[in-house]
């Protein structure tokens, strides 16, 4: 009878990188990771960290980077790896694009597709050289990938997020040989700046869920931390639907 192998080291204690971690869901992941991770490197567009991020201090490092600028991502991952091989990555960076397919401009559609899909491609490529042999990478899709929009963002947004799910599967296959896991969370409407605070919108979106409420950023962050952890060591290429049942219609 074979002996039970030991649990792998808990990846949540390794250096972590959160791309788009200056606000919303990404910030909540940083807040949780900062408790246990050796360091958390946050990559985002603004010159300075948000007040919420700055308040975390200590093990959190803020670096300006753009998911559409591969060189900036490579510099950020190299800086993160100064604390040791990067064990955990979350790509939260994204933009919504409300409006119907026939109304949105080609420029706006291209920007949404580039940031949401190419941003994840660029991050995976930039991260590759800095990852620990058993690292866990989590990408961010959306329930809109299944519904084609209608919750947060329209058809183009939905298409960009469907692409992220496909990318998760392909990257999982390609990186498995190095021991790296790649998974994805697909949030439903979540109470961040992306949804806003219009009570009418929140009520309408809440009614589309089975649980009759929007997700809090902590609902999504809990799944990201799970996917990072050794508890998810046999999960790769998976998408966790964190949407209160809204994908069931």
Ligand X SMILES: NC(=O)c1ccc[n+]([C@@H]2O[C@H](COP(=O)([O-])OP(=O)(O)OC[C@H]3O[C@@H](n4cnc5c(N)ncnc54)[C@H](O)[C@@H]3O)[C@@H](O)[C@H]2O)c1
Residues engaged in binding ligand X (CB under 6 A): 20, 22-26, 44-45, 66-68, 92-95, 115, 119, 140, 142, 152, 187, 189-190, 192-195
Shortest reach from residue 39's CB to ligand X, in Å: 19
Shortest reach from residue 57's CB to ligand X, in Å: 19
Residue 74: which H helix or E strand, with range? helix 70-80
Give the nearer residue to ligand X in terms of CB position, either 15 or 217.
Answer: 217
Give the nearer residue to ligand X in terms of CB position, either 17 or 135.
Answer: 17
What are the angstrom distances between the C-alpha of 227 and each of 8, 18, 199, 237? 14, 14, 32, 11
* Cα 183 off chain centre by: 10
Phi/psi region, residue 244 (left: phi>0; alpha: psi -120 to 50; beta: rest), is: left
Shortest reach from residue 21's CB to ligand X, in Å: 7
Shortest reach from residue 160's CB to ligand X, in Å: 8
* Residues 42 and 53: beta-carbon distance below 8 Å: yes
Closest CA to 187 of 116, 247, 246, 242: 242
Neighbours of 116 (CB within 10 A): 28
Shortest reach from residue 153's CB to ligand X, in Å: 7
Closest CA to 208 of 247, 156, 152: 247
The residue number with the shortest CB distance to ligand X is 24
Give the nearer residue to ligand X in terms of CB position, either 128 or 194.
Answer: 194
Closest CA to 101 of 142, 153, 163, 162: 153
Enumerate the active-site residues: 157
Q: Say how far apart CA 41 and CA 193 lie, in whole Å.
A: 22
Give me 104's structure tokens.
């949105």
Number of alpha carbons in the 13 Å side-chain half-sphere of residue 170: 10
Please work out, in degrees rounded to the nearest 5, the angle formed at the alpha carbon of residue 157 by the alpha carbons of 174 and 146. 70
């Amino acid at each position: 009878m074979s002996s039970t192998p030991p649990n792998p080291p808990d990846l949540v204690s390794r250096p972590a990188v959160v791309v788009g971690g200056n606000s919303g869901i990404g910030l909540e992941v940083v807040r949780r990771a900062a408790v246990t991770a050796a360091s958390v490197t946050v990559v985002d567009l603004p010159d300075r960290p948000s007040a919420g991020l700055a308040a975390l201090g200590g093990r959190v490092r803020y670096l300006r980077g753009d998911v559409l600028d591969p060189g900036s991502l490579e510099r950020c991952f190299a800086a993160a790896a100064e604390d040791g091989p990067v064990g955990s990555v979350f790509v939260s960076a994204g933009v919504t694009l409300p409006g119907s397919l026939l109304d949105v401009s080609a420029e706006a559609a291209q920007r949404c597709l580039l940031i949401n899909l190419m941003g994840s491609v660029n991050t995976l490529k930039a991260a590759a050289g800095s990852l620990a042999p058993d690292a866990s990478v989590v990408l961010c899709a959306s329930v809109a990938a299944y519904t084609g929009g209608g919750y947060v963002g329209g058809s183009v947004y939905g298409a960009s997020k469907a692409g992220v799910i496909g990318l998760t599967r392909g990257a999982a296959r390609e990186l498995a040989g190095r021991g790296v896991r790649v998974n994805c969370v697909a949030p439903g409407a979540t109470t961040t700046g992306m949804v806003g605070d219009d009570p009418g919108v929140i009520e309408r979106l809440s009614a589309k869920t089975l649980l009759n409420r929007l997700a809090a950023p902590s609902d999504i962050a809990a799944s990201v931390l799970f996917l990072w952890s050794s508890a998810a060591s046999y999960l790769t290429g998976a998408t966790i639907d964190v949407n209160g049942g809204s994908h069931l219609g």
